[in-house]
Amino acid sequence: YEKYKSPSGETLYATVGFAHVYQYYAYPQHTRPRIAQILILPTFARMGLGAELLKSIYRHYIGRDDVKDITVEDPAVEFQRVRDYVDAENCMTLPSFRRENLIGNFNKEMANEAQQKFKINRRQARRVYEILRLKITDMSNEEEYREYRLNVKRRLNIPFKRGSQDVRKLESALRDMDRKGPLPMLSSEQRMQALDKEYRELETEYKKVIQRLEVKSEE
């Protein structure tokens, strides 16, 4: 909210934004808060308030032993970008996410430390690892950049191997067809095209997060 004075000198409060967080059970005796919505009113947009609101939610739950981790319900692209920024900023303070560790593969130590310190779930911790590794990757170094791309693509390729619903999403992205109709199997070439397309879109999003992190570090 925004606190201000009326012409008569009365203290008033204006709504800036709000968030909905639901509590879910997590085995064996924990809770798993799920952020369902964060909204910043248009008047206050692009002022960094979305990130501040998310940080306030984190502060409420971090340190509570009964909270296993914090999840987000079907995040929009814009909110996922804010989440990536806040989580990356937090994880940059962790020993397991130091530069010498980022050049290796994502590991259990990273997942565990992100979960214990900031209630970040494993899937999001992996995403943060990819963002921070790209941040330190010399993209002018062909071999270094290639190793990074392969590392990310190996993760993106997992749904293809499992035959999960994620594969259908990738297939749908390549076809202009009735979504209700059956989806034929992709050829190896089509799968490679889908994988490359998803990677390029992901890298674009990662670069936006990195740019914000770099601006923050210069302040």
Residue in the structure block whose two tokens are 């889908």: 194
pTM of the model: 0.84
The whole-angstrom separation of Cα 155 and Cα 76 is 21
pLDDT tens per residue across span 121-145: 999 999 999 999 999 999 999 999 9
Over the range 138-173, which residues count as b (16 or more CB within 10 Å of their CB) and which as e? eeeeeeeeeebbebbeeebbebbeeeeeebeebbee
Residue boundaries of the structural domains of the chain: 1-74, 75-218
Residue of 73, 78, 109, 214 marked catalytic: 73
Of 6-10, 17-21, 55-59, 206-210, where does mean pLDDT reach its minimum?
6-10
Does position 219 have pLDDT exceeding 90, yes or no? no
Same fold, 1-74 and 75-218: no
Domain covering 1-74 in this structure, CATH number: 3.40.630.30
73 is known as an active-site residue: yes
Domain covering 75-218 in this structure, CATH number: 1.10.10.390
pLDDT of residue 105: 95
pLDDT of residue 194: 87
The whole-angstrom separation of Cα 147 and Cα 124 is 21
* pLDDT band (50, 70, 90) for residue 189: confident
The neighbouring-strand residues paired with 25 are 31
